Structure 1
Amino acid sequence: MSAELSRRAGHYAAAVAERLLEADLPVTGIQSCGPWRDTDGEYLDVEAAISFTQAFQNQHGGGDCGLHWAATSGWCLYTTGKEDRYLSGVRWPRASLLPEPRLVAAFVDAFRLDPAGAGTSEQPSYRQEGQDFPMLLDSLAPYLPAQPYLFEEPQIRFADLHRRAYENRVHRALLSRASDPLTHLHLRQGELTALLHLLEYTESTNPTALTRLLAADLSARAGRPPEAAETHKGALQEANHRRQTP
């Protein structure tokens, strides 16, 4: 039962992460675990977590910052101080044990606008630790994937959601800026080379035409006049083609 509780909690975290990704939040991963005991023998219940990029964490104290779900108290968003790494703030969204993913996303948005005013600092209690595991299994069942044969494990499901979310962001960014004025960004040659290496790595781990063409576009216009931005625009054309393809 412990493994199945962990799996279902992970799928619930993946469902929440999907809504966060749809809101363009910089989610990097999910975790989950079933009932377990720590090194001191203290009993701990089912848990899940969602992590964010370092840039997101820097905006909220500079230390660790993420979402944590406990099967006794629901979701919370925690922050730690940059220097001591101790918890400097925990906010609970005043929701149920298993709030809908959209409500969790709305809570994160509220936190970003007003960290001290979002939710409450008082930890709620919705369920007694170590009790009613069969009921918890049933409560988590609606968040299991619609295609279990493809996404049996939560991490595989999240990886697919993560990939598709960022592909969509790149498409939108290229298409929305087709007629935007050119910006002036001065890069050292080494910085441009580093960026191209990162795009090459991305292509090797997630081979798409868009990644390859974007790298080719940037390489082709390096050291060229501003008109090169119009001459070399294969990535934009590919994004536009994908938008028009049913």
Structure 2
Amino acid sequence: MSAELSRRAGHYAAAVAECLLEAGLPVTGLQSCGPWRDTDGEYLDVEAGISFTQAFQDRHGGGDCGLHWAGTSGWCLYTADQVDRYLSGVRWPGAGLLPEPGLVAAFVDAFCLYAAGAGSSEAPSYRQEGQDFTTLLDRLAPYLPAQPCLFEDPQVRFADLHRRAYENRVHRALVSGADAPLTHLHLRESELTALLHLLECAESSHPSAFNRLLAADLGARAGRPPQAAETHQSALQAANHRRPASYSVPRADESF
């Protein structure tokens, strides 16, 4: 039962992460675990968590910052001290043990705008620790994937959501920026080389025409006058060519 609780909690966290990604938040990963005992022998209930980029954490205290779900108190967003990494703040949305994913995303948005005004600093209690796991399994069931054969593992499901969300962000940025003014960003040659290496790495991990075309555009402009941006814009042209009626996240069977 512990493994199944961990799996279902992971899929619930994946559903929340999907809403966070759709809201434009910089989610990097998720975790989940079933009931367990720590090194001191203390019994702990089922848990899940969602992590964010370091830049997001730096904007909110500089230490650890992320979402945590406990099978007793629901979601909370915690921040930690930059130096000692001790918790410096925890906020609970107060929306129940299993709030709808969209409500969690709205809570994180509110936290980003005004941390002290988001949710409550008092931890709620919705369920007794270590009790009634069968009911909790049933309550988590609606968040299991519609295609279990493809996404049995929550990590696989999240990786697919993450990839498609960022492909969509890149597509939207390129389409909306076709007529945008040029920026004056001065890069060292070594920095441009490092950026091209990163794009190449991303291309090998997640094959994408946009990765390849962006790298080609940037490489072709290196050391050339500003007018080169008008000549080398294959990524913009590809984005406009594939511009959909609305900016929805591409389906799993769509490829960039």
Structure-2-length-normalised TM-score: 0.95
2:95 counterpart of 1:95: yes
* DSSP-derived class of the 1:146 partner: coil
> Which residue does 1:25 correspond to in 2?
25
> Which residue does 2:206 correspond to in 1?
206
What amino acid sits opposite 1:138 in the alignment? Answer: D
Q: CA–CA distance in 1 between the matches of 2:56 and 2:4?
A: 31
> Which residue does 1:129 correspond to in 2?
129
> Which residue does 1:225 correspond to in 2?
225
> Which residue does 1:238 correspond to in 2?
238
* DSSP-derived class of the 1:116 partner: helix
Q: Any idea what the Cα deviations from partners look like across 1:173-209, whole Å, max 9, x if unmatched?
A: 1110111111100000000000000000000101111
> Which residue does 1:80 correspond to in 2?
80
Offset of residue 241 of structure 1:
2.0
2:187 counterpart of 1:169: no
Offset of residue 230 of structure 1:
1.0
Q: CA–CA distance in 2 between the matches of 1:139 and 1:198?
A: 42
Q: Tell me the percent identity.
A: 81
Q: CA–CA distance in 1 between the matches of 2:238 and 2:211?
A: 10
Q: CA–CA distance in 2 between the matches of 1:137 and 1:66?
A: 24
Query: What is the number of equivalent residue pairs in this alignment?
Result: 246
2:101 counterpart of 1:110: no
What amino acid sits opposite 1:152 in the alignment? Answer: E
Structure 1: give runs of 5+ residues left out of the alignment.
Answer: none
Q: Any idea what the Cα deviations from partners look like across 1:76-105, whole Å, max 9, x if unmatched?
A: 000001111100000000111000000000
Q: How does 1:118-197 map to 2 (within 5 A)?
A: 118-197=118-197
* DSSP-derived class of the 1:62 partner: coil
* DSSP-derived class of the 1:55 partner: helix
2:65 counterpart of 1:61: no
Q: Any idea what the Cα deviations from partners look like across 1:103-124, whole Å, max 9, x if unmatched?
A: 0000000001111111000000
Offset of residue 66 of structure 1:
0.0
Q: CA–CA distance in 1 between the matches of 2:16 and 2:209?
A: 29
Q: CA–CA distance in 1 between the matches of 2:144 and 2:65?
A: 26
Q: CA–CA distance in 1 between the matches of 2:213 and 2:199?
A: 10
Q: CA–CA distance in 2 between the matches of 1:224 and 1:176?
A: 24
> Which residue does 1:48 correspond to in 2?
48
What amino acid sits opposite 2:96 in the alignment? Answer: S
What amino acid sits opposite 1:100 in the alignment? Answer: E
Offset of residue 244 of structure 1:
4.6
Offset of residue 242 of structure 1:
2.1
Q: CA–CA distance in 2 between the matches of 1:223 and 1:166?
A: 29
* DSSP-derived class of the 1:63 partner: coil
What amino acid sits opposite 2:32 in the alignment? Answer: S
Inter-CA distance 104–244: structure 2 relative to 1 (3 Å threshold): closer
What amino acid sits opposite 1:241 in the alignment? Answer: H
Inter-CA distance 96–211: structure 2 relative to 1 (3 Å threshold): same
* DSSP-derived class of the 1:243 partner: coil
- Which segments of structure 1 move beyond 2 Å, counting only runs of 4 or more? none
What amino acid sits opposite 1:26 in the alignment? Answer: P
Q: CA–CA distance in 2 between the matches of 1:2 and 1:79?
A: 28
